[in-house]
Each structure stands twice: as structure tokens, then as C-alpha cells.
Structure 1
Amino acid sequence: MAQHGENRRKGECDSNSTNEWVQKEGERLFIIDVDCGVDDALALMMLFAAPRARVLAVTCTFGNTSLQQVCSNVLRVLAICKQTEVPVYGGAEASLLGDVISATHFFGLDGLGDVAVVPGQEPPPSQDQLQQEPAALALIRLAKQWPGKINLVAVGPLTNLALAVSLDSSFPSLLRSVYIMGGNMEGRGNDSVSAEFNFFADPEAAFAVLNQYSCPLHIASLEFCSSQVLPWDFFETCFACGSEKATFVQRIMEFCSTVSKSELNMGWAPCDCFAVAAATEPGFIEASEEVAASVELAGHLTRAQMVVDWKGRWPNKRKIRLFTRCDVTLLKKLLTNMMR
């Protein structure tokens, strides 16, 4: 778990401030766990734009870039979204085994396309939002404050979630649900031959979540997201409105869109947004499968691959929900609306 330096200050939103308000009728509570690269930034923006969604906290983990940079990126996105009261918690700096990988080849060294903050063009990030409490402890505390109420969206390596259940085995039972972007259904990898990046970054953490979490688990896998790609002309139209948010996204997307167009030869797949859309819009997922699944830890060629029991050969193992089809028209609407 991360050790935080003197530059992390304890703001007024730390401790028990979430108890100072009463949950409104129809309001849904969220925590989002991110390794804030470009895709996470879009997911954060979508979540903050969702009606009736209240974000209690943003927890940070290593992944697309270093933990310190992830925290800085989150503060930058929160400033753009005018969400200056949401507390941010730093968490895992490395996997449970101490390994560290990154996606800087795709998202840039800083995870946001290596685009510097331009004074006057972006609001300054507020360091007061960065808390001293480690992410795993914050997750446990908030879940106990709001038992059965919190929807946890996890769009990075699952290390913070694994640490939370290792510290308090009752933690998953206190959550309403968990929505994950990660894993794969067909053994098609993007960081290894057979594994998806978030699970590959910490296979033991992914194994712990799939096997120890008792609350409903919903997964937007790599294949699911890749099968729902959007055309690049929609991207150009969506972010051409000239708003502060749209200009920000255009700038941070330039690096990864160039890589995607030249190397992957596919459309635009804002993967983390699929998990947020599923968590906030009940009609977004049009088809899914209830299946048992786990994560391979020992395979020489298949380590970190999510293994899905399509034939029902694990009858006593709990089921998770794997998304297989979504409303792409609704996704486009959500992406367009969040730029306002």
C-alpha cells in the first residue's frame, strides 16, 4: 500500500463529511477506482455527468502510469469537471507481488498524452482533495458508512479491491455492486497473448476479487469493449463542440488516437466508459451471460487470463455477469452529453 509524502494534505472532505448529507430519493452512490489514463479520464467525466449519481470518492492505483501521476491526473480531471469537493485517495503503487507495468506506450508517459496543463486554458487542480488515508482503508470506511448503498466501479488493476478484502473480509458484502472493466472472455489479450491489461497488471488481485467478492460482479471484458468500437468520425464530431471539456479531451486523446489508428487498425473503443455506462444506465446492457469465472495464475502462456465456465462445469461456484451486447446509440449519447 502506498506511503504518502508531505505534499499530500488532508482536506475538509476527509473523514466523515459524507455523513453530512442525506441520500436523496433516486440518488445512487458511487466510488470509482482508476489508474487514470485517457480512458479513465473519460470514464470519470461520464460518471460525473450521469444524472442521480453521487460520487463519494475516487481511489487511485498504479496501472496506466505511476500512482503519483495517476493521483495528479485525477485532480486535473476533477478540476475540468468542476468537482472540487470529491476526495481522492492514493492506493497501490504496485501489484500484490510487487510488480509494476504501465501503458505509457499507448497513453504517453503521464497517461494523459503528455499534454501539459496550459494556464488559463484549464482550471488549476486542487491538491486539498488528495487525502492521507490509503485507498483500501477509505473503501472499507465508506462501505461501512453506507452499507448496501455503494456501487464500486473499477477500471484499473484490482489491487485496491484485493487489499480491501484482505483487510476486512466483510467488505464485499457491504457493497451494492461492483462494475469492472477488465479480463477477457475468449483468451484474446492486449498486454500478453492471452490476458487483458488490468488483469495482467495484478493477476492475484483479479483472482481475489472474482473468488472472494460476494456482491454482484459485472464485467465489461476486453472482447466486449472491442466488439463495440465507435467510428473515428463520431469521435471527431463528438469532441468538436468547443467546450472546455471537449477541448481537454481532444488534446489528451491526440497521442493514443494516433497510436490506435496506426497500430491497431480499429475504431475508437473507450473501454472504461462501458463500465460506467453499465453502472449508471440500466438499459445500456442489452445482453449478458451469468457464468462462473476465475483467473489463471500458474499458466506459463495463460497467466492472468480470465477463465470462463461457459459449460457450467463449476456448479457450486458463484456466478458473475459478463456483458455481451450494449446499446451503442445510448453510448454515443452519453459521450456527447458529457462534453457540455
Structure 2
Amino acid sequence: MMRIKKLFIPLGLILMTILTGVKSDKLIPVYSGAYKPLIQNYTFDNFFGDDAFVDFKFNQKITSHIDRSKHAAAALIDLANKYPGELSILVLGPTTNIALAISLDPNFVHKIKHFYVMGGSVNSHGNISPGVEFNFGSDPESNFIFFNSTQGDVSLLPWETNLSINISSSWRENVLGGIESKFMKFLNQAESKIRKLPTWQPCDSLIVATMLWPNLITKSFVTNLTPIMAGEARGGLLIDYSATTHKPKNVEIIQEVDVEEFQNSLMLFLSYN
């Protein structure tokens, strides 16, 4: 198993607070980030309930704390300066806080070991509009700042790769969901609504798995990615598949993963209490 020395995860504040409290007795700081995209307003769609956890009753003690001393973007910069070349960043939502950190310190990205990003549509299979995936559609300007500042140390798991793994909701509910661990019981409640879909869509856990175990990636390619900020395709991506733009290659796009090994890894590590 690969060990990553330093990791920062930009997540929803409530989500991160609960998750760190569920699984760890250690005091893990949580920093509050942007409340809206750089330009447009945030629209709440209630897909995961009013609290983003399908509104189930959470009875466990939360052991983590919210560090109010600094903004998440400032925390990113401070950690990058403290651990230059060691910090890996896992991006499971919009890229707003990353863009803010870059805007405050243009050298920030050069101090990061690697970015692991879940989001974007690379073959026009959007989930909020044609060719536009939710995370990237939430803040196109931040996407543009991010991908025009990096130098290729970015691995992107797009929406299409998540769809292609084709794990049934039955496996998620009856096999993975049958594990009697503390963490799985929590996830079963938190995912009770989205498990009603025909197939399970493990977007976030899939990018985490490829970060921890790069050998899960069976097919990927490195190219240039340009975010779209205007028009009907706002929030979409231009992917230089044929290398015609001659722009710098700024992303590794993960296309295929070893699905069976991914499932085995989940079964093993989510069994721990």
C-alpha cells in the first residue's frame, strides 16, 4: 500500500467534520472555505437532502474541530509552504478553494506534489447539462485558473470513467453494505437515497482509491485540458485528444480502472473498525 505523507482534502465543511469524527480519534483540523463560486451564486439542489447526508439522524460524537483561525485557501498555502513538494491535494468538489489559493500565491501549485481531482466530462456525458459535470459546472472560472496554472501534476477522474465501471447497486447494498463496520454503517445511512439508482456511482471513493493504489489505473493518457467559461458549454472541457493545439500537457485523464481490484480493496479496508 502506498503511503502519502501529507494530504489535504477540500470537501464540504459538514461532510469533512463528520467523516473525520466517524473514523478517527485524532484531532484533525477542518478549515472553512468558499461559500460560493468566484462569480456566480451557488444553487442548492437538495439532491443529498438538506444537510448533504439525506437528513438521517447522526448520533455519534464528532471528534474533529473547525479551525476558524484561517480560510481554507490560506491553510492550503501555509501547508504548501510548510511541506514543499510533499503535499498531495484531493479535490472532491468544485475547484474554488484551489483557485483562491493560486490567486493569493501563484507559486502555490509549484509546491504541491500532486492533485487528484474528481469531476469534469471529457466525452460529453454531462450530468447537469450536455457535456457538463456538476463539480466543474459549479465554478468554471476556478477550473480555468486551476488548469492554466498547473504543470501536469494533476490526475483527473472524469464522470465518464465513473459511469464505465458499472458496479451494480445490488453489490453496493448487499455485499459492501453488508459489512458490519462502524464506517460502513455510517455510509449505508448517508448513501441510502443514491443507492436506489440501478448502478452505484462511487465517484469520490474511486479517485481516492487510484490515489492510494495507482496500479488500479489500467488506462490513462496525458494531454491538454482547457476549461470552457462561456456559452452553452460553460463548465465543460476542451480535451486535446489529437495533440493539435500544441498547448502544454496539464492533466492525466484516468480512463479505465481495475474494477475487481477496486471492489476487493473496498471490502478489505472498509471492514476495519
TM range (shorter): over 0.9
Give 1:147 shift.
0.4
Task: Give the match for residue 53 of structure 2.
Answer: 112
The runs of at least 4 consecutive aligned structure 1 residues that moved more than 4 Å come to none
Task: Give the match for residue 30 of structure 1.
Answer: 7
Could you tell me whether the CA contact under 8 Å between 1:108 and 1:256 is conserved in 2? no
Task: Give the match for residue 176 of structure 1.
Answer: 113
Task: Give the match for residue 65 of structure 2.
Answer: 128
CA distance 1:213–1:163, change in 2 (3 Å): same
1:338 aligns with 2:270: yes
1:85 alignment partner, SS class: coil
Give 1:100 shift.
0.1
Give 1:179 shift.
0.6
AA in 2 matched with 1:241:
I
1:158 aligns with 2:95: yes
1:33 alignment partner, SS class: coil
Structure 2 residue corresponding to 1:242, chosen from 180, 185, 190: 180
Could you tell me whether the CA contact under 8 Å between 1:203 and 1:297 is conserved in 2? yes
Task: Give the match for residue 227 of structure 2.
Answer: 295
Scaled by the length of structure 1, what TM-score is found?
0.75
Could you tell me whether the CA contact under 8 Å between 1:239 and 1:339 is conserved in 2? no
AA in 1 matched with 2:8:
I
Structure 1 residue corresponding to 2:16, chosen from 71, 74, 77: 74
Number of residue-to-residue matches in the alignment: 269
Distance 1:319 1:79 in 2: 35
Distance 1:296 1:26 in 2: 35
Cα distance per residue 1:119-175 (max 9 Å; x no partner) = xxx2x1136343421000000000010000111110100000000000000000000
Task: Give the match for residue 29 of structure 2.
Answer: 87
CA distance 1:87–1:32, change in 2 (3 Å): same
Give 1:215 shift.
5.1
CA distance 1:141–1:226, change in 2 (3 Å): same
1:251 aligns with 2:192: no
1:230 aligns with 2:207: no
Distance 2:76 2:115 in 1: 12
Task: Give the match for residue 304 of structure 1.
Answer: 235
Distance 1:131 1:277 in 2: 30
Give 1:245 shift.
1.3
CA distance 1:330–1:83, change in 2 (3 Å): farther
Distance 2:264 2:156 in 1: 22
Task: Give the match for residue 49 of structure 1.
Answer: none
Give 1:226 shift.
0.9
Distance 1:228 1:277 in 2: 13
Scaled by the length of structure 2, what TM-score is found?
0.93
Could you tell me whether the CA contact under 8 Å between 2:36 and 2:42 is conserved in 1? yes
Mind listing any 5+ residue stretches in structure 1 that lack a counterpart?
Answer: 1-24, 36-70
After superposition, the CA RMSD in angstroms is 1.7
Distance 1:27 1:257 in 2: 30
Could you tell me whether the CA contact under 8 Å between 1:103 and 1:111 is conserved in 2? no
1:320 aligns with 2:261: no
Distance 1:291 1:192 in 2: 24
Mind listing any 5+ residue stretches in structure 2 that lack a counterpart?
Answer: none
Task: Give the match for residue 97 of structure 1.
Answer: 39
Distance 2:149 2:26 in 1: 34
Cα distance per residue 1:303-334 (max 9 Å; x no partner) = 11011011111113233100111011121122
Distance 1:310 1:189 in 2: 18
Distance 1:83 1:334 in 2: 23
Task: Give the match for residue 135 of structure 2.
Answer: 198
CA distance 1:220–1:312, change in 2 (3 Å): same
Distance 1:116 1:26 in 2: 34
Give 1:284 shift.
1.1
